[in-house]
Structure formats: C-alpha cells, structure tokens
Amino acid sequence: MDKDINCGGSYLEPPKERIIYRIKFTKGEEVKYIGHLDVMRIFQRAIKRADLPIAYSQGFNPHQLLSFANPLTLGTTSRGEYGDFQFRVRVEPNEIKERLNNTLPEGIKVLDVVLLRDKVAKAMASISASTYIAKLESQVTSEIIDKNLSGFLAQKEINVMKKTKKNFKETNIREDIFELKNASDEEGAKLFMFVASGSQRNLKPANVVEGFYNYLGLEFDKYEIRYERIETFREENGEYMGLAEGVGAV
C-alpha cells in the first residue's frame, strides 16, 4: 500500500490514472428493505469514515465516483452484490476491505476487492445472469417440486405479468430461465434458479415462482416468499463468471 493513502492532491483534482476497484458485498436480513440509493449513501459515508481516497467527479457539484450493479428488489437478500469504486491513488485490496468492514452497518459486509485491469466494462454493463434461492411457503413441499418441475420446464411458453415502465405486460419468460432445480432442505421447500439479468434481459425470481405457482394451480402471494441472490455473472466466450472473476489487473 502507498505510505499515505491520502496522497495525490486535492480530492477535486482529476485522478492521474484510472484506478477502479470492484467490490463484492452482502446485503443481509438487517438491510433487505433498504433501497438502492440508500445503499449508495451508506457506502459514501463508509468511504469517508474509512478515510479512503475516493475520486470525485468534476464540475460545480462533485460527487464520489462509484456505481453499483443490478439493484435488488426490496426485501431480497444477497451474497453477491457488486460496485465499482474509482480511487485517486492505489490502495491494497485487503486494506480497502478491512477499512470498509470496520465502518459498514450490520447486514452489509465486503467479501472481496479486486483492482480492475484497463478497459473492463462497468459492473452494470457486464451483467448477463444471476442465481437465486427462493424459499417457498408451506403449502409447497419438496415432493410437489419434484413431481412438477420437469413438466413446468417442458413448456414452450411460461407466461406471467411482468412490470414495465408504464404498466404490466404478459410476457413469456421461458427463454430467460437457464436452470431451475429443487434446492429444498431442512428449512423447507426451495427453488434454485439461474436466470437472465442485466439491462437487455432481466428476469426477477418472483416472476419464476409466480409462473411455477400458476402451473401448480396455487395462489401466488409474493409477500410469503423469501428470495436471496447467490451470485451475479458476466459472460465471456460462452462461459459465465462472477463479476469479480477474470477482471483483475496483473
């Protein structure tokens, strides 16, 4: 690490080089009802308290240069959230991780920090898929999942009402379900899903569960299901990798 991580001149000066760290973090039960903008504010305050040399935008209203990938639906927890943070000077990744974890609230924990190599696309622009676990309500059992899952996936069309910017539209989501399997355990019936994510195609786990409940002939109550994002992926040469994999500077 640099002897003084605050070196590099005024925070208002433009960075002399492109120094961007990709940060992987959790969003736990304690903060699952905190929205995207509030998560950003939490990190902005944590960066200041951690005395990290974040870079700022230029102009009359400078702001910290950080961005986050694919915001979660309120009420969803996650083991695989990502953000890109631009710094003025280099800092050892473990130092960033330790300093942030010492200042972040319960429920948000930094798991990994990677210094990005040049010309890596922003996290949000890189996303192509995500994995989730859905904890179903008690009327659905592991046996019911086993009995019906193959038939559900054999359908050419799985139509649900998806929310658009203006209203709701009936949409066939079958092509956006890459994998769906029984993940039930001692806690109850669960579904593991690997689905399309990102700015081009984005399937929420609730849409998948709603489609499955419709297939079972059951009423879907979105407030009775618990969701957790496991990982967020980018695609490179036909292979899916976590957003922090294969992007680090040598």
184 lies in the same domain as 117 = no
Residue 110 and residue 42 share a domain: yes
CATH number at residue 27: 3.30.70.580
Residue 117 sits in the same domain as residue 184: no
71-117 tens-digit pLDDT: 899 999 999 999 999 999 999 999 999 999 999 999 999 999 999 99
Residues 116, 155, single domain; the answer is: no
Q: What does the pLDDT read at residue 162?
A: 84
Same domain, 75 and 157: no
Mean pLDDT across the chain, nearest whole number? 91
**Residue 236 located in a structural domain:** no
Q: Are residues 114 and 200 in the same domain?
A: no
Position 229 in a domain:
no
Long-range contacts (CB closer than 8 Å, 24 or more residues apart) made by 61-67: 62/11, 62/12, 66/40, 67/122, 67/123, 67/124
The alpha carbon of 97 is separated from its chain's Cα centroid by a whole number of angstroms, namely 18
For residue 11, what pLDDT is reported? Answer: 53
CB atoms within 10 A of CB 169: 10
- 245 located within any domain: no
Q: Are residues 188 and 218 in the same domain?
A: yes
Same domain for 85 and 147: no
Containing structural domain, residue 176:
137-224
Do both 112 and 199 map to the same domain? no
Q: Among residues of the chain, what percentage have pLDDT more than 70?
A: 93
Q: Tell me if 200 is assigned to some domain.
A: yes
Please report whether residue 130 resides in a domain: no
d(CA 61, CA 215): 52
Domain total of the chain: 2
Same domain membership, residue 146 and residue 191:
yes
Last residue of a domain, one of 125, 152, 185: 125
Q: Are residues 160 and 207 in the same domain?
A: yes
Q: Is 234 within the bounds of a domain?
A: no
Q: Is residue 244 part of a domain?
A: no
Residue 120 and residue 148 share a domain:
no
Neighbours of 14 (CB within 10 A): 10
pLDDT at 16: 65
**Of 98, 125, 152, at which residue does a domain stop?**
125
CB count in 10 Å sphere of residue 249 = 13
In a domain, 94, yes or no: yes
Burial class (CB in 10 A: 0-12, 13-18, 19+), 124: middle
Read off the pLDDT of each residue in 54-58 and give the average, rounded to a whole number. Answer: 91
